[in-house]
């Protein structure tokens, strides 16, 4: 039995559900998630020399890269159990019901985080694997237009004119009315437009109703659809349109010089899993507490997630004002707020990856990651959440160097390459599937005559 399996078995024993046990799953090979990192990389041309240059990193030989790659793949392929998996039972039950055909509709996962999440490579891999197994529920929620440089969501295309202003982000500047993603765009100008191209059968626009709000014309695939009135008592507004399943383009345009504020789009299919990436560059977990609680909670209820993932810590490790006690208190408050708005959702906390810091021309391990990992683990477990130590899966403290040498992490020793993020996404997926398998086996065993007392 894997670590913490007893707690999961106890939670399953208390679960009262009907129906036959779900079918078993084939074994997920570690090499499946590693395939994404096997592509060869092409060397970039060296930048022109300048008068002042940073000390260059030592050249990495082919042998060193090969050895580092082998080390990383060997470690990431090992089991790195999610702690307190019993906290995931409601989510695992719904996944199991999807697999067995007992449940249809949408199962949503909201993944909040920092730049590792904002890249949508890590989350994109988890989305790809879950949807391939349990059904493609679509992109889910995404930010409108181009709220910040480099923003993207895989398999979607967004455009926006230059007259939109972004509020929120990591500084949380503004009135706190930023919505589910902690970022919104607004304008007071007529003729400003934006568009979204994505696959789905149902699209939704999240906007702010406000006194004197401007009108929006909406078109679907180039055909005028309706005019949305944003004028009204201040609060959340929603516009929804259903279309035939497939890829569509939605476009909107402001019709007058009046205030308009947009929080995001939703693109969904009729059934399946969504894995929604809600990352902000430079974000810390405490940022969510700066967002208007009433609006944020309403958006969270609107999405009705089965699982909420919190993946922060990289930026907190670089902030000297946190102690383990103060961080734990803040994190407990955040979990309580999420539970209040979404009481049925499971919560998975993912600790920060390993990182280094540059000092005097050299990269050294950032020791403060230890404190953040400890604070997140203790707070998650004491508040009935699951916890996954991504740094341990990487190889533990100091492992980032191996990832850099292997070409799976960037030279800043903080962020990963595309292949590195995909490798981490595959590892998270495999741990979720391991817990799902154990849940199914334990539930099936609990339904035998001896377990249910049918022979008495």
Tell me the per-residue pLDDT of 5-42, one tens digit each, with 9 for 90 and over.
555 544 544 443 333 333 333 333 444 444 444 444 44
Q: Does residue 295 share a domain with residue 386?
A: yes
In this structure, what is the dihedral angle of CA atoms 212, 218, 224, 227, given to the nearest 10 degrees? -30
Lowest-confidence pick of 19-33, 114-128, 246-260: 19-33
Number of domains in the chain: 2
Cα-Cα-Cα-Cα torsion 134, 138, 141, 143, nearest 10 degrees, comes to: 130
Q: Establish if 12 belongs to a structural domain.
A: no
Of 239, 270, 301, the one marking the end of a domain is 270
Taking 60 as the threshold, does the pLDDT of residue 143 lie above it?
Answer: yes
One domain, residues 109 and 222: no
Q: What residues contact 226, with CB distance under 8 A and at least 6 apart?
A: 217, 218, 239, 241
Check: CB of residue 409 under 8 Å from CB of residue 72: no
Cβ 155 vs Cβ 139: under 8 Å: yes
> Domain check: are 315 and 428 in the same one?
yes
Mean pLDDT throughout 161-190?
92
C-alpha to C-alpha distance for 343 and 305, rounded to whole angstroms = 10
Averaged pLDDT for residues 405-426:
97
For residue 396, give the CATH number of its domain: 3.40.50.1110
> Is 10 within the bounds of a domain?
no
CATH code where residue 208 lies: 2.60.120.260
d(CA 25, CA 219): 43
Query: H/E element holding 196?
Result: strand 193-209
| Same domain as 409, residue 308 | yes
H helix or E strand, kind and range, residue 168: strand 165-168
Higher pLDDT, 326 or 50: 326
83: helix, strand or coil: strand
**C-beta of residue 34 within 8 angstroms of C-beta of residue 77:** yes
The answer to whether residue 98 sits within a structural domain is yes
pLDDT at 290: 94
Check residue 8 and give its pLDDT: 55
Answer yes or no: do 145 and 209 share one domain: yes
Q: In angstroms, rounded to a whole number, what is the distance separating the alpha carbons of residues 172 and 235?
A: 19
Query: What is the arithmetic mean of pLDDT over 263-284?
Result: 96
pLDDT tens for each residue of 295-318? 999 999 999 999 999 999 999 999
Task: Give 181 or 16, the one with higher predicted confidence.
Answer: 181
Residue 360: domain span: 60-137+272-446
pLDDT over 90 for what percent of the chain? 77
Residue 389 lies in a domain: yes
161 burial (CB, 10 Å; 0-12 / 13-18 / 19+) is middle
- The answer on 280 and 190 residing in a single domain is no
End-to-end Cα distance, the chain: 29
285, 309 contact by CB (below 8 A): no
How much of the chain, in percent, has pLDDT values that exceed 70?
Answer: 85
CA–CA distances in Å: residue 430 to residues 2, 8, 25, 100, 437: 14, 17, 12, 19, 10
Mean pLDDT taken over the chain: 88
Minimum mean pLDDT among 58-72, 117-131, 216-230, 382-396: which range? 58-72
Say yes or no: 179 and 245 in one domain. yes
The torsion defined by the Cα of 267, 275, 351 and 365, in degrees rounded to 10, comes to -70
User: Where are the extended beta strands (E) located within 210-367?
Assistant: 215-220, 223-229, 235-254, 260-268, 272-279, 307-311, 346-350, 356-359, 362-365
Tell me how far apart the alpha carbons of residues 58 and 55 are, in angstroms, rounded to a whole number: 9
Residues shown for the chain: 456
Which pLDDT does position 174 carry in this prediction? 80
In this structure, is residue 357 part of a structural domain? Answer: yes
**Per-residue pLDDT, 18:** 35
What angle, rounded to 10 degrees, do the helices at 89-100 and 5-13 form? 70
Distance CA 149, CA 103 (A): 39
Mean pLDDT confidence for 260-271: 97
Greater confidence (319 vs 42) lies with 319
Provide the pairing of β-strand 260-268 with 140-142: antiparallel
What are 45-77's pLDDT values in tens digits?
444 444 444 445 568 899 999 999 999 999 998
Question: Which residues, other chains included, contact 12 with Cβ-Cβ below 8 Å and sequence gap of 6+?
Answer: 89, 439, 442, 443, 446
Q: Is the pLDDT of residue 273 over 80?
A: yes
Quick check: is 40 in a domain?
no
pLDDT of 275 over the 90 cut: yes
423 and 311 belong to one structural domain: yes
User: Is residue 321 a part of any domain in this protein?
Assistant: yes
In a domain, 14, yes or no: no
- Residue 238 has a pLDDT of 98
Is residue 227 within 8 A of residue 217, CB to CB? The reply is: yes
pLDDT at 445: 83
221 and 333, same domain (yes or no): no
Residue that terminates a domain, selected from 234, 249, 270? 270
Res 1: pLDDT? 43
Measure the CA–CA gap between 144 and 165, rounded to whole angstroms: 11
Q: Please tell me the distance from the alpha carbon of residue 169 to that of residue 73, in angstroms, as a whole number.
A: 34
- Give the model confidence (pLDDT) of 205-244 as tens digits: 999 999 999 999 999 999 999 999 999 999 999 999 999 9
Same domain, 261 and 307: no
CA dihedral 207, 209, 213, 217 (to 10 degrees): 40
User: Could you tell me if 416 and 276 lie in one domain?
Assistant: yes
Quote the CA–CA distance of 153 and 198 in Å, as a whole number. 10
Q: Which of 270, 299, 325 is the last residue of a domain?
A: 270
**Least confident range of 71-85, 225-239, 404-418, 436-450:** 436-450
Question: Do 388 and 319 lie in a common domain?
Answer: yes
Question: Lowest-pLDDT range, 36-45, 277-286, 342-351, 401-410?
Answer: 36-45
**Three-state DSSP class for residue 182:** coil
Q: According to the model, what pLDDT value does residue 240 have?
A: 97
pLDDT at 323 over 70: yes
Lowest mean pLDDT among 24-28, 162-166, 253-257: 24-28
> For the ranges 72-81, 200-209, 447-456, which has the lowest average pLDDT?
447-456
């Amino acid at each position: 039995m894997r670590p913490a399996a007893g707690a999961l078995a106890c939670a399953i024993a208390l679960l009262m559900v009907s129906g036959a046990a779900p079918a078993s799953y084939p074994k997920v090979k570690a090499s499946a998630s590693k395939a994404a990192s096997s592509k060869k990389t092409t060397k970039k041309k060296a930048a022109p020399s300048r008068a002042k240059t940073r000390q260059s990193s030592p050249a990495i030989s082919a042998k060193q890269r090969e050895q580092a790659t082998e080390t990383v793949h060997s470690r990431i392929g090992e089991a790195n159990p999610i702690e307190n998996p019993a906290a995931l039972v409601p989510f695992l039950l719904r996944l199991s019901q999807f697999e067995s055909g007992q449940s249809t509709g949408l199962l949503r996962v909201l993944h909040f985080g920092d730049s590792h999440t904002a890249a949508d490579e890590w989350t994109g891999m988890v989305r790809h694997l879950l949807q391939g197994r349990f059904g493609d529920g679509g992109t889910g929620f995404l930010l409108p237009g181009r709220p910040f440089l480099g923003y993207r969501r895989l398999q979607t295309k967004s455009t926006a004119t230059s007259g939109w202003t972004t509020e929120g982000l990591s500084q949380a500047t503004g009135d706190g009315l930023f919505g589910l993603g902690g970022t919104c765009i607004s304008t007071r100008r007529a003729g400003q437009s934006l568009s979204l191209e994505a696959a789905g059968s149902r699209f939704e626009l999240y906007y702010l109703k406000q006194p004197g709000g401007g009108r929006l014309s909406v078109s679907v695939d180039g055909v005028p659809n309706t005019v949305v009135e944003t004028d009204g008592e201040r609060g959340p507004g929603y516009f929804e349109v259903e279309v035939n399943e497939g890829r569509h383009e939605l476009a909107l345009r402001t019709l007058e010089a009046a205030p308009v504020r947009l929080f995001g789009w939703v693109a969904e299919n009729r059934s399946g899993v969504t894995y929604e990436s809600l990352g902000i560059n430079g974000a810390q977990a405490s940022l969510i507490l700066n967002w208007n609680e009433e609006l944020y909670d309403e958006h969270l209820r609107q999405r009705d997630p089965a699982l909420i993932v919190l993946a922060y810590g990289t930026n907190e490790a670089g902030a000297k004002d946190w102690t383990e006690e103060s961080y734990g208190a803040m994190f407990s408050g955040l979990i309580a707020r999420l539970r209040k708005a979404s009481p049925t959702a499971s919560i998975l906390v993912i600790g920060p990856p390993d990182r280094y810091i540059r000092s005097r021309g050299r990269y050294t391990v950032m020791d403060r990651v230890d404190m953040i990992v400890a604070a997140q683990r203790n707070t998650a477990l004491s508040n009935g959440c699951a916890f996954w130590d991504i740094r341990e899966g990487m190889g533990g403290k100091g492992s980032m160097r191996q990832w850099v040498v292997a070409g799976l992490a960037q030279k800043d020793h903080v962020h990963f390459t595309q292949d590195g993020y995909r490798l981490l996404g595959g590892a998270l997926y495999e741990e979720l599937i391991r817990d799902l398998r154990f849940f199914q086996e334990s539930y099936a065993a609990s339904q035998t005559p001896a377990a249910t007392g049918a022979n008495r």
